[in-house]
A and B are shown apart, each in its own frame.
Chain A
Amino acid sequence: MTTGATTTRVFGSGIRRREDPRLITGTARYTDDITLPGMVQAAILRSPHAHAKIRRIDTSAAAKAPGVLGVFTAADIEGHLKPVPCLWLVPGTDLKIGSYWPLAKDVVRYVGDAVAVVVAETTYQAYDALALIDVDYEPLGASVDPQKAAAEGAPQIHADIPGNQAFHWTVKGGDVDAAFKSAEVVVKDRIIQQRLIPTAMETRSALAQYLQATGELTLWNTTQNPHIARFACSVVTGIPEDKLRVIAPEVGGGFGSKIAQYPADFITVFCSKKLGVPVKWTETRRENYQATTHGRDHVQEVELAATRDGRILGLRCKVWAGMGAYLSTAAPGIPTILHGLMLSGPYNVPAVHEDVYGIYTNTTPVEAYRGAGRPEATFMLERLIDKLAHQIGMDPVEVRRKNLLPPFADGCTVVTGLSYDSGNYEGVLKLALDRVGYSNLRAEQERLRKERTYLGIGVATYVEICGLGPSQVAGAVGFQGGLWESCIVRFHPSGKVNVFIGASPHGQGEETTFAQVVSDELGVDPNDVKVVHGDTDQTPMGWGTYGSRTTAVGGAALAVATRKIKEKAKLLAAHLLEAAPEDIDYKDGKFFVKGSPDHFKTIQDIALMANVAWNMPAGMEAGLEATSFYDPPNFSYPFGAHVAVVEVDADTGQVTLKRYVAVDDCGPQINPVIVEGQVHGGVVQGVGQALWEECVYDDSGQLVTSSLVDYAVPRADVLPDIEVLSTVTPSPHHPLGVKGIGEAGTIASTAAVYNAVIDALQPFGVQTLRMPMTPERVWRAINAGRKES
């Protein structure tokens, strides 16, 4: 490798984001901001019932309403749209996929299932007409709880899927039965990982422009993965992939909810194709809550076997994972591969056995939500470790220390078969405890309890699986695609650089961090690098932004491409400097003859010559650009330790988060300011799960939390400043050593806050509380404890 490749001038610096000028001035364009000549608006009629037969739909009045161009139902899309595909077919599970028609055929299966679409000249007219559609429903019994839906006699959601079971998946490692036989202590819990609503601030939208003359479609879409969207759209609509362009313009957050391919997108395409005009559909927030995917929704029965001195022997669990009424794009992989394989976390757990039942319910489909499977795994383990500590009378930190894997720099195979890349779990735990002043806090807690002030300290140590991932593994675990990333790095004659990359960030700031990588690798000013993404016609293939993989995988592709460029540039420099390539050195954007630093060519000189090609070495192609396809050899495994300090008001049940210390290790940080921002946002989403957020359905399947009035998204005034620290343990297999940080905060914080609240409630003997831990639930638990004592 040329020297200078690792000089870090911009890498590691918290430079301002280049995304921001357009975002702070209102000049950025999100999907709903785009208007095309002749464009009309679609609105979708959604089922008000959780489960019902459609006896009859009368669209005649709607069709005659002012401005209406068309009204379509399932009968109209017959032969034009195929069912929405599920793209993660986890093997060995007897997976059963219920037909997921873009517009419901005969039966609706959740409140929000699409029934009809109106296209009109304006949005107001479309909604006026929507109210005129008359649907005659015959309501059927509904199931909303995954465990109950799996029970005998539960209403049957898909006629051809008995017991509502989408799949049964198992992970086993070590001898769990022996572990429980020899256990001195067994602790158990029944955990409800309540359903959450991702609530990206931008609701979903699609704008389809089908050109009947050429058969070409352009689809502007709020997606995290435009290339997957193109593939899926081709499958469902039959429009060939080469005539199909998907553009993810500015995307206003996703958190997993913009991974899936949705009925509404295909319906919009159908309308444009049918009517020959551009059609835009943008969901309302209520519609977003009903029909854009939800997250979590596990019922977990878990038990941990251990010795009396706190050594973990084994973990056994059963999980009923609610999948919603249909299997969303990646849904089966989340409670299985991304959850079950992470069961042993950062600990030495000799044996595990988990059964996961994926269950259909009459609810909105469940998909990835920030952390996707890993928060649900981390929570189990962190909860049981605290319970174990309580049972054996040991400090929960001590129990963790006893079981953490010792530091490793290059591979550690765990009981589920995964090989973690690198870790120093004791290191992050120590830093977090030092920062929060753990022993002093314990003393303070004791003192305050005497004054009837209830402080709680909660710790969570985690490791997560990121940088998804080797494509061979993707294939082995049934993911219907690859997981590599590709990019093109191109020097223009003037020495400016464009990066075209398949990944599609939507708030994470990779236009900036990628420019930083290129800047360092090629010795150009970061302001001379523009990153282009989110357009399938302009960028090479990429598998999308989720699973904290964009910097980890896309960033690696970028590093490889820039290094290819540097190799070619060195040969060209040698030619121009009339020296042998081995006599050329490189530093900070300059190639020079060894020993004569004044005899040099800048990378810009080389770029100009390569582009005009007046004087090239024999056989060298013109141009200075490189393409790389990077398929990672392994996943990356970021890790960390978080500590939450809460105070519980015993009279009102109100929980106040007093302090929050996050120590995360995502390897070397390209832009520490952006990393810190990711941690802030992630932590707050996880705190939201612990204390405030819950998607509630009533027993009939009505969505009770159907707006921002009812669903408690954290607001600014209920949060303390989060203290963000880090350690740096590079990934041994990554060209830049980086691991990914997008989901870390969410994975740790729910467990840390939960443990803190339970810790605060020890004087009342509370061991388990249902999340979110609202004042009412906390107050009731305190009161029950008081009565008992």
Chain B
Amino acid sequence: MEQIAVSITVNGRPLRRVVEPRLLLVHFLRDVVGLTGTKVGCDTSQCGACTVLLDGRAVKSCTCLAAQADGGSVTTIEGLAAGGGELHALQDAFWAKHGLQCGFCTPGMIFAAHELLRTNPNPSPEEIRHGLEGNMCRCTGYQNIVRAVQHAAATGGRP
């Protein structure tokens, strides 16, 4: 199959790879770059487990071709925190409020919450529930995720 070259900055690291045009961004991240923190939970863009940031905005990386991200900058869960073991406020909030159980939906959920707080820094619980309706969690019943997002909003930026 025909191959194309893409240049994508992932977590601040510029990468140039030759890939199939049909390669999904999520598979680029997981299989080509080796960043497996981003999850695949469905094949119809319903679950949101694959949510990452593309040029600062949340996208479902199973609904985006690697080719579409050419020239762009992607942040995955591995690159969310500043580094050095420090956690991003959202990561810490999910931990503090028991916002995860099996953890599979968590990376995507954190980025969905990231997008929500980017557009609405002080959401009400109802706004949080609406803001996260594109992401599924089967373990928590969402309640502690809502608490986590409220906590992250209250603690702001960095922990």
Interface of A, secondary structure class, is: loop
Indicate which residue in A19, A30, A284 contacts B104 across the interface (CB closer than 8 Å). A30
Q: Does A442 contact B (CB under 8 A)?
A: no
- Closest B residue to A29 using CB positions: B36
Bound CA span A24–B106, Å: 7
Bound CA span A719–B128, Å: 12
Contacts of B43 in A (CB 8 A): 284-286, 707
Total A-B pairs, Cβ < 8 A = 176
Query: Given A715-B133, A716-B128, A716-B146, are A252 and B102 also a contact pair (CB < 8 Å)?
Result: yes
- List the one stretch of A70-78, A197-205, A446-454, A635-643 in contact with chain B: A197-205
Q: Does B4 contact A (CB under 8 A)?
A: no
Query: Given A20-B103, A677-B140, A713-B138, are A708 and B44 also a contact pair (CB < 8 Å)?
Result: yes
Could you mark each residue 90-128 of chain B with 1 if its beta carbon is under 8 Å from any beta carbon of chain A, else 0?
010011101011111111001000000000000001001
Indicate which residue in B20, B91, B145, B146 contacts A24 across the interface (CB closer than 8 Å). B91
Q: In this complex, which of A25, A253, A683 has the most chain B Cβ atoms within 10 angstroms of its Cβ?
A: A25
A123 CB to nearest B CB, Å: 8
Contact A124 B22 (CB under 8 A): yes
Contacts of B65 in A (CB 8 A): none
Contact A674 B36 (CB under 8 A): no
Indicate which residue in B38, B104, B128 contacts A201 across the interface (CB closer than 8 Å). B104
A720 CB to nearest B CB, Å: 9
Contact B98 A673 (CB under 8 A): yes
B141 CB to nearest A CB, Å: 4
1-53 of chain B: CB within 8 A of chain A: 1, 20, 22-23, 27, 30-31, 34-44, 46-47, 49
**How many residues does chain B have at the interface if contact means C-beta atoms less than 8 Å apart?**
59
Q: Does B64 contact A (CB under 8 A)?
A: no
Query: Given A26-B35, A252-B103, are A202 and B41 also a contact pair (CB < 8 Å)?
Result: yes
Indicate which residue in B41, B98, B138 contacts A285 across the interface (CB closer than 8 Å). B41
- Closest B residue to A30 using CB positions: B104
B11 CB to nearest A CB, Å: 10
B20 CB to nearest A CB, Å: 7
Q: Does A735 contact B (CB under 8 A)?
A: no
- Closest A residue to B110 using CB positions: A24
Q: Does A23 contact B (CB under 8 A)?
A: yes
Indicate which residue in A33, A677, A680, A708 contacts B36 across the interface (CB closer than 8 Å). A33
Q: In this complex, which of B44, B91, B139, B140 has the most chain A Cβ atoms within 10 angstroms of its Cβ?
A: B139
Q: Does A651 contact B (CB under 8 A)?
A: no
Query: Given A200-B138, A285-B41, are A24 and B103 also a contact pair (CB < 8 Å)?
Result: yes
Bound CA span A685–B139, Å: 9
313-361 of chain A: CB within 8 A of chain B: none
A145 CB to nearest B CB, Å: 27
Q: Does B77 contact A (CB under 8 A)?
A: yes
700-726 of chain A: CB within 8 A of chain B: 707-709, 713-717, 719, 721-722
Indicate which residue in A14, A200, A509, A716 contacts B129 across the interface (CB closer than 8 Å). A716
Q: Does A255 contact B (CB under 8 A)?
A: yes
Contact A508 B95 (CB under 8 A): no
Bound CA span A485–B102, Å: 22
Contact A25 B37 (CB under 8 A): yes
Contact B141 A684 (CB under 8 A): yes
Bound CA span A22–B103, Å: 9
Bound CA span A25–B106, Å: 9
Q: Does B69 contact A (CB under 8 A)?
A: no
713-746 of chain A: CB within 8 A of chain B: 713-717, 719, 721-722
- Closest A residue to B145 using CB positions: A716
B38 CB to nearest A CB, Å: 7
Contacts of B105 in A (CB 8 A): 201
Contact B42 A708 (CB under 8 A): yes
Contacts of B87 in A (CB 8 A): 21, 24-25
Contact A708 B47 (CB under 8 A): yes
Q: Does A507 contact B (CB under 8 A)?
A: yes
64-85 of chain B: CB within 8 A of chain A: 76-78, 80-81
Bound CA span A509–B36, Å: 22
1-37 of chain A: CB within 8 A of chain B: 14, 16-17, 19-30, 32-33, 35
Query: Given A199-B138, A707-B42, A707-B44, are A17 and B95 also a contact pair (CB < 8 Å)?
Result: yes
Q: Does A506 contact B (CB under 8 A)?
A: yes
Contacts of A27 in B (CB 8 A): 37, 78
Contacts of B129 in A (CB 8 A): 716-717, 719
Contact B95 A16 (CB under 8 A): yes
Could you mark each residue 58-75 of chain A with 1 if its beta carbon is under 8 Å from any beta carbon of chain B, else 0?
000000001000000000
Indicate which residue in A29, A30, A508, A707 contacts B101 across the interface (CB closer than 8 Å). A508
Interface of B, secondary structure class, is: loop
Bound CA span A104–B106, Å: 37
Contact B101 A716 (CB under 8 A): no
Q: Does A251 contact B (CB under 8 A)?
A: yes
Contact B91 A202 (CB under 8 A): no
Contacts of A426 in B (CB 8 A): none
B22 CB to nearest A CB, Å: 7
Q: Does B132 contact A (CB under 8 A)?
A: yes
Contact B144 A677 (CB under 8 A): yes
Contacts of A683 in B (CB 8 A): 141
Contact B46 A507 (CB under 8 A): no
Q: Does A521 contact B (CB under 8 A)?
A: no
Query: Given A25-B91, A200-B102, A285-B41, are A253 and B78 also a contact pair (CB < 8 Å)?
Result: no
Bound CA span A26–B90, Å: 13
Contact B38 A26 (CB under 8 A): yes
Query: Given A21-B95, A23-B103, A25-B91, are A201 and B137 also a contact pair (CB < 8 Å)?
Result: yes
Bound CA span A123–B31, Å: 10
Contacts of A253 in B (CB 8 A): 101-102, 104, 138-139
Could you mark each residue 677-690 of chain A with 1 if its beta carbon is under 8 Å from any beta carbon of chain B, else 0?
10011111100000
B151 CB to nearest A CB, Å: 13
A253 CB to nearest B CB, Å: 4
Q: Does A250 contact B (CB under 8 A)?
A: yes
- Closest A residue to B30 using CB positions: A33
Bound CA span A285–B101, Å: 20
Contact A26 B77 (CB under 8 A): yes
Query: Given A201-B105, A715-B136, are A722 and B141 also a contact pair (CB < 8 Å)?
Result: yes
Could you mark each residue 184-205 of chain A with 1 if its beta carbon is under 8 Å from any beta carbon of chain B, else 0?
0000000000000001111100
- Closest B residue to A251 using CB positions: B102
Contact A716 B132 (CB under 8 A): yes
665-700 of chain A: CB within 8 A of chain B: 673-674, 676-677, 680-685
B89 CB to nearest A CB, Å: 11
Could you mark each residue 543-575 of chain A with 1 if its beta carbon is under 8 Å from any beta carbon of chain B, else 0?
000000000000000000000000000000000
Contact A20 B142 (CB under 8 A): no
- Closest A residue to B78 using CB positions: A26
Q: Does B63 contact A (CB under 8 A)?
A: no
Bound CA span A642–B149, Å: 27
Contact A509 B20 (CB under 8 A): no
Bound CA span A339–B123, Å: 44
- Closest B residue to A710 using CB positions: B44
Contacts of A673 in B (CB 8 A): 98
Contact A721 B103 (CB under 8 A): no
Q: Does B155 contact A (CB under 8 A)?
A: no
B28 CB to nearest A CB, Å: 12
Bound CA span A680–B49, Å: 20
Contact A685 B138 (CB under 8 A): yes
Query: Given A201-B105, A708-B42, are A25 and B98 also a contact pair (CB < 8 Å)?
Result: no
Contacts of A681 in B (CB 8 A): 101, 138-141
Please name 8 further chain A to chain B contacts, defined as beta carbons within 8 Å, in addition to the given A21-B87, A285-B41, sorted by A numbering.
Answer: A22-B103, A26-B35, A33-B30, A124-B20, A507-B139, A677-B144, A716-B145, A721-B143
User: Could you name 9 residue pairs across A and B whose Cβ atoms are closer than 8 Å?
Assistant: A23-B103, A25-B81, A30-B36, A252-B102, A285-B42, A508-B101, A708-B136, A713-B136, A714-B141
B residues contacting A by CB (< 8 A) are 1, 20, 22-23, 27, 30-31, 34-44, 46-47, 49, 76-78, 80-81, 87, 91, 94-96, 98, 100-107, 110, 125, 128-130, 132-133, 135-146
Give 4 nearest A-B pairs by CB, closest first.
A26-B37, A23-B103, A507-B102, A252-B104
